[in-house]
Amino acid sequence: MKEAIVLYPSPAIGHLISMVELGKLLLTHRPSLSIHILITNQAYDAGPTTAYIASVSAAVPSIAFHFFPATTLPPDFSTTSPHHETLALELLRLNNPNVRHALTSISENHVVYGLIIDCFCFAAVAVARELNIPYYYFFTSGAGYLNFFLYLPTLHDKFAKSLKDFDAPIDVPGTPPIPPSDVAKPLEDRYDEAYEGFLDSSLKMQTSAGIIVNTFEKLEPRAVRAITDGECVPGGPTPPLYCIGPLISSRGGDDGRSMESLTWLDSQPRGSVVFLCFGSLGVFSVELLKEIAMGLERSGQRFLWVVRSPTQDKNQKAATSAVPDVDLGSLLPEGFLERTKERGLVVKKWTPQVEVLSHPSVGGFVTHCGWNSVLEAVCAGVPMVAWPLYAEQRHNRVLLVQEMRIALPVDESADGWVSSEEVEKRVRELMESEEGKMVKERVLAMKEEARAAMSPGGSSRSALTGLTESWKRE
């Protein structure tokens, strides 16, 4: 019988890409493996996946995708939670019969060494236990956020109040103290359904066969040590930790715009361009887009800026439905495109981020601090301005600025407003100041460490060997 590993990602495109890259990595190490990826429909629009899945299927025949029948929330489903993650967690719970059917079916012709889930898919742990299949967590953010996630049950038991009500930064082993305002929104309120879900996920993670994390030891040494020393689960044993990153993907989807960006970059001086991109879901209000434009114009820096259609709700940071096409001329300040055409390029919706970051003309990156984007910048040796929007990105900013020292922070007001003066200041600082130079030196050093970690005999390769050897023992 063939050996198989089953991967179960949250259906959002960022999580799916990370899980596919993990599957590819496992195949480079164990070509005899059969990789099976379970695909559910999404509770909300978290980025199209069809073209991406098709391209992976064509390129890597050893990866098989299993598409579940469409599942919908029952008409009487209601929640008091304001977080869209609650809908995703409930839909994944309703998919357990599909998970059971898929695992049973795959097991007929394969020895299934393990089910690898991400932290959204914890409902499937019940199925894995029932079928006696070891389950592993694949954590698609870094070790510094994993610390916090593992430590959540300890905080929950230690304090009777919600994290948002803390009046001082929250101490977590192995990381700088986290301001309560930087805690991911679904974890702020202990009485919220999303919080209850992720607390349950953390408890299940603590009893898993292992935690695979997309990072490398030299990027987050203190966080990794705190986990492996058991400080994040003081009440019991910590599962084995496998730091197997950085895993990054060159994502397909070219529709002509990528050529425009790269051709334009070819004509710019080396290291002169600031790249601004806020992930597959990040959105701003019209007013904030205008502030960014004014800040860029006044900064005098060259720039490549990816703009998505704005949100009508100024408090919304992530797009949860398909967005219409955008007319840049009417959206940005009058005459902005004409005045900056010699040194700036604005593109709609998407550009090939890995290729752009790797381009010699790019000297800085204004990012939403999504972990995939952070690793892509590290691997390209590009320093960052950290401008978080949603999920665990504010937490990541603390780590990037204070712990790793590979980014400068954007300062925002309590309601999330960032002025054009702040945009101008941070972009200039990144490209011209001594502090910007130090951040660049640090990220270039991490680029070399990333390369070493993924080389034969490197820490991430050794961790991968440890992971695959654990399957035999199971």
- Say if residue 240 is in the same domain as residue 295: no
Q: Which of 78, 305, 62 is nearest to 193 (CA)?
A: 78
Q: Which of 100, 50, 42 is nearest to 71 (CA)?
A: 42
- pLDDT at residue 42, rounded to an integer: 83
Dihedral over Cα of 235, 237, 242, 247: its sign: negative
Per the structure block, which two tokens stand in for 354?
Answer: 């890995």
- pLDDT at residue 114, rounded to an integer: 97
Say how far apart CA 119 and CA 184 lie, in whole Å. Answer: 14
pTM value is 0.94
How large a percentage of the chain has pLDDT more than 70? Answer: 94
> How much is the average pLDDT of 236-265?
83
Q: Are 357 and 380 in contact (CB under 8 A)?
A: yes
> How much is the average pLDDT of 223-246?
97
Residue 237 vs residues 147, 202, 269, 397: alpha-carbon distances, Å: 14, 13, 53, 29
How large a percentage of the chain has pLDDT more than 90? Answer: 81
Residue type at position 129: R
pLDDT band at 350 (very low <50, low <70, confident <90, very high): confident
Residue 323 predicted with pLDDT over 70: no
- Say if residue 364 is in the same domain as residue 459: no
Residue with tokens 């040494």: 221
- Say if residue 446 is in the same domain as residue 460: no
Q: Assess if residue 368 is contained within a domain.
A: yes
Q: Which of 101, 1, 4 is nearest to 471 (CA)?
A: 4
- Say if residue 137 is in the same domain as residue 222: yes
- pLDDT at residue 116, rounded to an integer: 98
Q: Assess if residue 252 is contained within a domain.
A: no
> How much is the average pLDDT of 186-194?
97
- Say if residue 97 is in the same domain as residue 7: yes
Sheet architecture: strand order including 110-117? 63-67, 34-39, 2-8, 110-117, 135-139, 211-213, 241-243
Domain count, the chain: 2
Q: Assess if residue 434 is contained within a domain.
A: yes
Residues 6+ apart with CB under 8 A from 373: 277, 279, 353, 365, 367
Q: Assess if residue 34 is contained within a domain.
A: yes
pLDDT tens-digit series, residues 287-297: 999 999 999 99
- Say if residue 233 is in the same domain as residue 266: no
Q: Which of 181, 186, 123 is nearest to 318 (CA)?
A: 186
- Say if residue 417 is in the same domain as residue 358: yes
Provide the domain limits for residue 181.
2-247+453-473
Residue 135 predicted with pLDDT over 90: yes
pLDDT band at 315 (very low <50, low <70, confident <90, very high): low
- Say if residue 34 is in the same domain as residue 116: yes
Bridge partners (DSSP) of residue 277 are: 367
Average pLDDT, the chain: 93
- Say if residue 415 is in the same domain as residue 469: no
The domain that contains 322 carries what CATH number?
3.40.50.2000
| Of 391 and 210, more confident | 210
Residue 251 predicted with pLDDT over 70: no
Q: Picking from 20-34, 36-50, 395-409, 416-430, which range would have the lowest pLDDT averaged per residue?
A: 36-50
> How much is the average pLDDT of 152-173?
97
- Say if residue 358 is in the same domain as residue 314: yes
- Say if residue 414 is in the same domain as residue 299: yes
Q: Assess if residue 74 is contained within a domain.
A: yes
Say how far apart CA 118 and CA 23 lie, in whole Å. Answer: 13
- Say if residue 116 is in the same domain as residue 211: yes
> How much is the average pLDDT of 82-110?
95
pLDDT tens-digit series, residues 12-40: 888 899 999 999 999 999 999 999 999 99
Q: Assess if residue 73 is contained within a domain.
A: yes
Q: Are 458 and 464 in contact (CB under 8 A)?
A: no
Q: What angle do CA 463, 464, 470 make, to 5 degrees?
A: 90
Q: Assess if residue 185 is contained within a domain.
A: yes
Helix, strand, coil percentages for the chain (3-state, nearest 5): 45, 15, 40
Residue 9 predicted with pLDDT over 80: yes
Q: Assess if residue 288 is contained within a domain.
A: yes
pLDDT band at 258 (very low <50, low <70, confident <90, very high): low
The number of beta carbons lying within 10 Å of the beta carbon of residue 176 is 15
SS3 for 346? strand
